[in-house]
Amino acid sequence: MSHDKYISPFETRYASPEMQYIFSEDNKFRTWRRLWIALAKAEKANGLNITDEQIAELEAHKDDINYEDAIRREKECRHDVMSHVYAYGLQCPHAKGIIHLGATSCYVGDNTDVLVMKEGLELVQKKLVGVMALLAKFADQYKDMPALAYTHLQPAQLTTVGKRASLWLNELYMDYEEITNRMNALALLGSKGTTGTQASFVELFEGDSARIKAVEASIAAELGFDKVVPVSGQTYSRKVDFQVLSALSGLAQSAMKMCTDIRILANFKEMEEPFEKNQIGSSAMPYKRNPMRCERVCALARYLMVDILNPAFTAGTQWFERTLDDSANKRIAVAEAFLAADSILNILLNVCDGLVVYPKVIRSRVMAELPFMAAENIMMSAVKKGGDRQELHEKLRQHSIAAAAQVKEEGKPNDLIDRVVNDASFGLTHADIDGVLVPEHFTGRSAQQVEEFLNEVIRPVLAAHPEAAGQHAELNV
């Protein structure tokens, strides 16, 4: 590896080889050749003078790209598409005259972009379902374990560890739906010509609209699509890029929220991301177990969420039938959005496959706050023994304020229960109150909600994607 020039961290640290290949030059140029073959087949089927031998010659060289010839030619003509038309023609001398017949550069460029985005979305969907499978297992395992729930990052009521995980999972499910919808909505540009009017094909097919439309349908079918965009200028609408990247941004938002929660829980010592045997948490503090995986997710998510501004501006600067404002920006922004999404999912696969839970810490933190949360239940127990509800409410309020002050101002344990037991007006013993302070009685329908959510929403998705289960990801430093 060269050390004297810039190399993207997506290549060396973050993105998987699979996603890197999808956005590689090799995949792009092989797809160009698939498109030229599809065009030739469609034109032959609709009456143009193209032979089976010419098509066979094109197919024989669809994958062995002569890059040196293309690079040398591009230095002369300064046009990437025509350079590859030339290079393909050197390998296919009998077919060179019909390569790219009637097409403009966006025929290969834009159709390839759509095909590549579809491949990228398929990989994102697969990895996302893998993360969902791991989180579903975790949520099911811990659906009954009481834990503090927070509003405003202040203890509010109790939830369960599994119910909180189901909140993360639900947002990822929303991303799955959006990514799937975007993938299914993709349409090829087709063969629209220089300004979208198909004028070159009108010339080739002598104005026969039926044959012109049949060519587009044939190309789409050859490439695995059932539709092309209904109207266009030279390019497909750049709003498509924005819509696709918006779905990826949604994934980044969900991942950032989840990993921020895990980072806070790590601070509480309730939960941690995986920590390898020989991993060093800090160069200065040997005891540290920094949540570096979740921090990395948050960093990459921030990059991806900001990246969608690029296709937004690109869509707005496409004057009339097309301008080249999109090209340089688009080839960076779209590719890196997918590489970032892939990187995030790789880390989430690793994190969700080894989340560490500390039940005793969780229970201890629950019991420290539960007396406050159970105040009404304690009061009702005292009323059942003959106490005055209004009088007890006021006394309980005062005791709660005093106990909270002791915790916050003196750093002592919560002694609300002792205060209540020592107040004769309540008539309660420690045993009476212990019967009230059962965390499992304060989690509402958390466990049932998790079961219902997994059965009704998540497991049907997992069943539809059996190939996505059991994924793992090794992380670079």
Domains of the chain: 23-98 (1.10.275.10), 105-275+286-357 (1.20.200.10), 375-436 (1.10.40.30)
Give the residue from 171, 471, 454, 225 showing the smallest Cα distance to 342. Answer: 471
Q: Residue 288: what pLDDT?
A: 53
Lowest mean pLDDT among 104-118, 139-153, 359-373, 425-439: 425-439
Q: Residue 277: what pLDDT?
A: 45
Catalytic residues: 152, 282
Dist CA 424 CA 224 (whole Å) = 79
Contact 58, 33 (CB under 8 A): yes
Q: Residue 373: what pLDDT?
A: 85
Structure tokens at 401: 């304020």
Percent of all residues in the chain with a pLDDT value above 90, rounded to a whole number: 78
Contact 20, 339 (CB under 8 A): yes
* Span 177-194, average pLDDT: 97
Q: Tell me: pLDDT of 352 over 70.
A: yes
Give the residue from 440, 477, 390 showing the smallest Cα distance to 160. Answer: 440
Report CA 242 to chain centroid distance, whole Å. Answer: 15
Dist CA 259 CA 255 (whole Å) = 6
End-to-end CA distance of the chain: 17
Q: Tell me: pLDDT of 474 over 90.
A: no
* Span 400-404, average pLDDT: 87
> Alpha-carbon Rg of the chain, whole angstroms?
31
Q: Residue 190: what pLDDT?
A: 97
Q: Describe the crossing of helices 105-141 and 446-453 by its angle, rounded to 10 degrees.
A: 140
Give the residue from 110, 99, 91, 95 showing the smallest Cα distance to 36. Answer: 99
Q: Residue 195: what pLDDT?
A: 95
Q: Residue 477: what pLDDT?
A: 53
Q: Tell me: pLDDT of 390 over 50.
A: yes
| Average pLDDT over the chain, rounded to an integer | 93
Summarised one tens digit per residue, pLDDT across range 303-327 is 999 999 999 999 999 999 999 889 9
Dist CA 197 CA 408 (whole Å) = 73
pTM exceeds 0.85 for this model = yes
Residue 286: count of CB within 10 angstroms of its CB: 8
Dist CA 336 CA 305 (whole Å) = 12
For 396, half-sphere exposure in the C-beta direction (CA atoms, 13 angstrom radius) is: 24
Percent of all residues in the chain with a pLDDT value above 70, rounded to a whole number: 96
* Span 380-403, average pLDDT: 86
Q: With bands split at pLDDT 50, 70 and 90, how would you rate the model's confidence at 283?
A: very low
Give the residue from 245, 236, 153, 151 showing the smallest Cα distance to 191. Answer: 236
Summarised one tens digit per residue, pLDDT across range 35-77 is 999 999 999 999 999 999 999 999 999 999 999 999 999 999 9
Pinpoint the alpha helices (H) of 186-238. Answer: 199-204, 209-222
Summarised one tens digit per residue, pLDDT across range 410-456 is 888 888 888 888 888 888 888 888 888 999 999 999 999 999 999 99
Q: Residue 159: what pLDDT?
A: 98
Contact 180, 16 (CB under 8 A): no
